Amino acid sequence: MSLCSQLCWSAERDTSSLLRDYIRLDTTNPPGNEALGAAFFAEIFAAHGIEHEIIKVAPGRANIWARLPGGEQPVLLLLHHMDVVPANPARWQHAPLAGLNDGDYLHGRGALDSKSLGIFQLQAMLALKALGKPLNRDLIFLATADEEAGGQYGVGWLMEHRPELFQGIGAVLNEGGRGDVRGGKITFGIEVTQKLPLWLKINASGEPGHGAIPRSDSASQRLIRTLAKLEQFAFPAQLLPGVKTYLNKLAGDFPPPWNERLSNVEALIESPQQMAELREFDHRLHAQLRSTCAITRLQASDKINVVAAEAWAEIDCRLLPNHKPQQALESIKAALDDESLKITPLLSFEPGISAQDNFLFRGIKHSLAERYPAATIVPRMAAGFTDSHFFREIGIPAYGFIPVILDAEQARGIHGDNEKISLANLNFGREFMQRLVEQVCIAESGR
């Protein structure tokens, strides 16, 4: 009898109430306050006799590590981040931190990114502990701070100051992939690589003055002209081998003409018109085929009647894994063609890809195929970046998969308004994670 059938957790707090309470902890970053989440998990681990440690890195900022000891097989690390992005309550149907359950969905910031993943992982660890069987490998739970701001108080800090926590790890299970439903067909993407961030700050300078006497060469005017050029700039479309396989397998799920166009992606990327149409049709697929830049922050004067001496913008560029950050920066500078601008890189890192010949990737794929034999299961590249890059940079395979199945409307809640997770997904996520962890940590290795 499997772990999931033996332990349905009727005697424990259910997934919905755990996630509700977790959402209600305000870990919005900035400022983070992930110490609230660490204390939440520590209380549960203590009650179940699980070895754990809260690792404080700054006032209000903390990570939590927990372990179930096992055999000599490579360690499995369950990873998620406790911080969430800000939410404007005025734009939400329900209060973002209320954790409201309406009978169909649990609403709240972090419901998908990534507090539900943390609860699935927590329940899998508790279930494995309760089962009482010998494990073939250590199982580690790690909930971290600061992922939404780059991880410098989280995984980045831990790797620098507590490297012993990562010894012997054979695979990391993190966010980054999921199930998507289109036209009644389900596709599961397991994230094995991701686009690279190149975050930039552009500063423009000019003569300050009174707002009643505007100048054509003010800092704000220069910045506006610069950003207009940036909006017209596009990196060339490229087709990476893994992306081609991913889109070809998805093609049949789309209506005409996209089923044919995605089956012949080489022709698609050669057509500027079709690429523009793809961006309107599905901007997530478009982002798989080219490096991109988004204007995300702007600032100039702090008074309406003052012409500022300096104006700045921050730009979030995401590069395909084969696109060197310095090469991308030179292309941007050439397109803007203004030596008076100050362009400063804020964040970038090198690419990494996790092999599919790994016990965790095989386990995820096998478990999905068991439950959804008709579904398409593919490795994928994530358009965003996660803490997985820290592990890939030091040679530890990391895989992104949160066991949920989303339609387009639900997916828009990630970093958007009205984030929510269906109760059906809560059941699927809990059951899938428990089954996966049982298979990987108890079943014979080498599946």
pLDDT digits (tens, 9 = 90+) for 80-91: 999 999 999 999
Smallest CA-to-CA distance from 437 within 122, 125, 132, 134 is with: 125
Average pLDDT value for the chain: 94
Between strands 73-81 and 169-174, the pairing is parallel
Verify that 26 and 57 share a domain, yes or no.
yes
447 has a pLDDT exceeding 80: no
Tell me what pLDDT residue 443 has: 66
The CATH number of whichever domain residue 300 belongs to comes to 3.30.70.360
What range defines the domain where residue 225 resides? 196-348
Verify that 46 and 96 share a domain, yes or no.
yes
Tell me what pLDDT residue 74 has: 98
In terms of C-beta density within 10 A (0-12 exposed, 13-18 middle, 19 or more buried), how is residue 140 classed?
A: buried
Domain membership flag for residue 428 = yes
3-state helix, strand, coil in the chain (%, to 5): 35, 25, 35
343 has a pLDDT exceeding 80: yes
Verify that 204 and 335 share a domain, yes or no.
yes
Verify that 124 and 15 share a domain, yes or no.
yes
381 has a pLDDT exceeding 50: yes
Residue 201, strand partner residues? 314, 344
Tell me what pLDDT residue 183 has: 84
Q: Which of 160-174, 209-223, 327-341 has the lowest mean pLDDT?
A: 209-223
Distance between CA atoms of residues 141 and 161, nearest Å = 18
Residue pair 88/397 in contact (Cβ under 8 Å)? The answer is no
Q: How many CB atoms lie within 10 A of CB 217?
A: 12
- Number of domains observed in the structure of the chain: 2
Q: Which of 183-187, 368-372, 405-409, 442-446 has the lowest mean pLDDT?
A: 442-446
Q: Which DSSP state fits 447?
A: -
The CATH number of whichever domain residue 431 belongs to comes to 3.40.630.10
